[in-house]
């Protein structure tokens, strides 16, 4: 059975863009493969941060992942820093990673430009990511567009290590691009992102969600309710595609083009479908926060399974490389 691995930063509260772009897809594919999903707290320290906040966000992310439907009986969900082999393999991979490949990474250049003093961690970030994936000898990595270059680097690392120490030991991991295209924010202007304030949080109440949906940008050419609209340029239509059944999506298309429904009518239908999907997730999150030991145990089980797989890879790596 092919293995899948993916990672997510513990970045505070998840919004529907993160959910649709990654987590929902993970839930759908978790039982098709042997899967490992990792909360990458070691990656999170490459930018300035507060230890207490990191710890809190890691726990919150774990709770959200289980609430969204990752099933600890079928998959390993764990925290990266709980499995020491990630950092061991990262050091080893530094010795087969060309510096030029790291300096060329778009995300490195962008992050470096934003920092006053550039720490080596942001340069080596993709080496740790390669270690995450290859530690489990994963074949498939579900990610968004923005991670394709990092994945390419993982392939270089695998190829170089294999060429030097053991042909075909590490598979070259392939990205599995999330079917949902990137989700735009409620302003319809830019990708949904917490820093832009154009998000809907996964844990927001129906009232809060409606307060944000109601004024959200639609087809700008549709000024009056009697103007026919173009769903292809409407962000609300994109959200319908993510949350509404196919028949409803077709109906929205018709009613928009014929000016049968106004934008508020259309948003009400979206709101109902969004609420129907989020309500059970929120209910599970509520339940789980009432018993923290359940979360601790689930993460513990995930880490134990991850450690078993990681230890086996490292035994072979250490042997091939001449360590005592």
Cα-flanking dihedrals φ and ψ of residue 97, to 5°?
Answer: -110, 115
- CA 244 vs CA 19, 253, 279: distances in Å: 15, 12, 15
Residue 24 bears catalytic tag: no
Please identify which of the residues 24, 109, 111, 267 carries the catalytic annotation: 111
Residues 41-80 that bind ligand TRP (CB under 6 A): 43
Residue nearest to ligand TRP (CB): 7
Decide whether 80 or 218 has the Cβ nearer to ligand TRP: 80
Distance CA(314)–CA(21), nearest Å, equals: 32
Tell me the CA end-to-end span of the chain in Å, nearest whole number.
32
Q: Does 231 bind ligand TRP (CB under 6 A)?
A: no
> Site for ligand TRP (CB under 6 A): how many residues?
13
User: What is the smallest separation between the CB atom of 313 and ligand TRP, expressed in angstroms?
Assistant: 15
Which of 41, 9, 33 has its CA nearest to residue 22? 9
User: What is the C-alpha to C-alpha distance for residues 63 and 76, in angstroms, rounded to an integer?
Assistant: 14
Q: How far is the CB of 234 from ligand TRP (least distance, A)?
A: 28
Instruction: Say if residues 2 and 139 touch (Cβ distance below 8 Å).
Output: yes
Catalytic residue among 174, 191, 212, 241: 191
- Is 111 tagged catalytic? yes
Nearest CB to ligand TRP, comparing residues 5 and 93: 5
Q: Which two tokens stand for residue 171?
A: 């598979």
Site pattern 263..302 for ligand TRP (x: CB under 6 A):
----------------------------------------
Of residues 127-156, which lie at the interface with ligand TRP (CB under 6 A)?
A: 129, 132-133, 141, 143, 147, 150
Q: Which residues contact 78 (CB under 8 A, 6 or more apart)?
A: 36, 37, 38, 39, 299, 302, 303, 305, 306
- Tell me how far apart the alpha carbons of residues 123 and 119 are, in angstroms, rounded to a whole number: 8
Of 124, 278, 116, 305, residue with least CA distance to 202: 278
7 binds ligand TRP (CB under 6 A): yes
Q: What character string, x for contact with ligand TRP (CB under 6 A) and - otherwise, covers 19-38?
A: --------------------
- The least CB distance from residue 59 to ligand TRP, in Å, is 18
| Sequential DSSP letters for 260-299 | -S-HHHHHHHHHHHHHHHHHHHHHHHHHHHH-HHHHHHHH
Q: Which is nearer to ligand TRP, 10 or 262 (CB)?
A: 10
- Per-residue binder mask for ligand TRP (CB under 6 A), 192-221, x = binder: ------------------------------
Q: What angle do CA 156, 161, 162 make, to 5 degrees?
A: 100
Binding site for ligand TRP (CB under 6 A): 5-7, 9, 40, 43, 129, 132-133, 141, 143, 147, 150
Catalytic amino acids? 111, 191, 194
């Amino acid at each position: 059975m092919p293995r899948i691995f993916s990672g997510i930063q513990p970045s505070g509260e998840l919004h529907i863009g993160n959910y649709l772009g990654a987590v929902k897809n993970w839930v759908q594919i978790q039982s098709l493969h042997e899967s490992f999903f990792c909360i990458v707290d070691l990656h999170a320290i490459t930018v300035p941060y507060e230890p207490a906040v990191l710890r809190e966000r890691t726990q919150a992310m774990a709770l959200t992942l289980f609430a969204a439907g990752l099933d600890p009986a079928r998959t390993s969900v764990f925290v990266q820093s709980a499995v020491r082999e990630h950092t061991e393999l990262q050091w080893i991979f530094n010795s087969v990673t060309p510096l030029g490949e790291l300096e060329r990474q778009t995300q490195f250049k962008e992050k470096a430009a934003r920092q006053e003093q550039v720490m080596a961690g942001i340069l080596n970030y993709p080496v740790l990511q390669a270690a995450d994936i290859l530690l489990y000898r994963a074949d498939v990595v579900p990610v968004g567009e923005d991670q394709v270059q990092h994945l390419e680097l993982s392939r270089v690392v695998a190829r170089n290590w294999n060429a030097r120490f053991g042909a075909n030991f590490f598979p070259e991991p392939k990205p599995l691009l999330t079917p949902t295209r990137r989700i735009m924010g409620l302003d319809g202007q830019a990708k949904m992102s917490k820093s832009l304030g154009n998000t809907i949080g996964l844990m927001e109440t129906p009232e809060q969600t409606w307060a944000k949906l109601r004024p959200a940008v639609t087809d700008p050419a549709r000024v009056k309710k009697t103007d026919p609209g173009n769903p292809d340029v409407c962000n609300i239509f994109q959200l319908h595609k993510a949350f509404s059944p196919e028949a409803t999506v077709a109906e929205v298309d018709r009613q928009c083009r014929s000016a049968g429904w106004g934008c508020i009518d259309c948003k009400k239908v979206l709101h109902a479908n969004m609420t129907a999907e989020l309500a059970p997730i929120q209910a599970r999150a509520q339940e789980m926060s009432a018993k923290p030991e359940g979360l601790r145990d689930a993460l513990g089980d995930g880490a134990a399974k991850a450690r078993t797989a990681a230890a086996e890879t490292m035994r072979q790596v250490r042997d091939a490389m001449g360590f005592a």
